[in-house]
Chain A
């Protein structure tokens, strides 16, 4: 057995011991104070131990961890200066503005438009900070950057990836924009367990990020949270529900795309989007080799070209 395996075994043993330690010490206390009494037994002592352990576990779950609100340098919003037409980029759930660096630079160079990549509230800071936000805060982030960008540009194109595209769609239902461009927009995810999320949140606060996903992000030089607050995941589902009911209000020209290998957003979301919006110009692209982040995957050049063509045709 290798050293790593031994260490794992040792850690497991330590965890098991610490788990039993509470029961054992409570048992000792109960044996001395409860068991010798008339009519009591070891079972009574163990019952007592169980309740003590439960109370201590609940109190332990409340332990607060420091909330870091300072935005990491590599996660800040940025802007690429250009003409009086602006493109407002909105990233997805748990991501940060850097995922749009390539696309923003490409569109800025090719079209000359001002490109602003916003950071959603609670992203790029800490998990504890993100936990305090919900989709209303994220919507306000889009609103704030939209206002700032509209003060220096005449027209704005909204571009979003994943949850950012859902936010862009919702925002375009209430605000004027030249066009909406969405990449892998989640609108109706096939997760029947999502309805239990609010209940699960009471017991479990965070869900760890998949290691394979974290590695993929780190390889690209992007920061990603090691775990995600389940409260925010619930809020993302709320956002989808709110957006679905307002899709008919979207009248701006629409470009949308989805990867056929996307494990999160199935392609029927695109069909739902196209059939619900009131836009006169609609265009959808399906990418056979791509997963969720099409603009970072093997077909990134194709999607960049397609978005550029769509913008030029407006």
Chain B
């Protein structure tokens, strides 16, 4: 348990020491800023961040894999996985620690967007509830995205492949269900259930539904469990 936190701490500080993370953060905040000023911040819209949260999920499809791609791939490529996996740490501690580290950086990256609330507050009186729940939803969706990215990162020592694979898997749980339910209406219910976007809508509305919470937590747990298994299987390949 302690080791999980040590690994999380190292990987979080690893982000701050890597130029890629700053580049990703720069582009994320640039795009999020455009999103906010061009779409959300409009006199005709209610004083809230709902539209921002929805579009933000799209942005995160390419932003979070850029954060998660190096988590394990870099260790596999440089060989640092060897001292790490021969120290008394479990595979689960490595995976959960790395995911927590990435979540930490993701939260830090998200933090400057809180200023948008203050910008709205200059002209209007936004309701803090839906904004808070919107951030919870964004963090949970980011958690699933990062768990998927971490799984992809365990599977290859090549960061570019890890990036592409995680974008692809995330699309399977976000955009692809829209098309599938259009082509095969019989599957519409199932497709709506697996769609990450659908589960975020309630959070953006200000609704924290136990079924949505369960969906995200099982999603995160499932992809992290896959990543642990993938890391274990590396030994048997």
Answer whether A and B are interacting partners.
Answer: no
> Residues on B close to A: CB < 8 A?
none
> Residues on A close to B: CB < 8 A?
none
